[in-house]
């Protein structure tokens, strides 16, 4: 029996989203987990 699992696509984030996330950490002093929670994504999405 063959299992046909489809490959998951990675999410893509806009440049604006990336700048906003980086600003939370670099300019506003958020930790990565705090910034991820604030942006509504998982912590690994910001690493």
Predicted model pTM: 0.76
φ and ψ at residue 40, rounded to 5 degrees? 80, 30
CA distances from residue 15 to 8, 18, 20 in whole angstroms, order as listed? 22, 5, 9
Task: Kindly report, residue by residue over 14-34, the tens digit of the pLDDT.
Answer: 999 999 999 999 999 999 999
CA 15 to chain centre: 12
Region 3-18 average pLDDT: 88
Asked if pLDDT for residue 3 goes beyond 70, the answer is: no
């Amino acid at each position: 029996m063959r299992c046909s699992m489809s490959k998951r696509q990675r999410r893509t984030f806009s440049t604006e989203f990336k700048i906003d996330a980086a600003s939370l950490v670099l300019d506003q002093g958020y930790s990565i987990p705090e910034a991820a929670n604030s942006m509504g994504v998982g912590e690994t999405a910001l690493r």
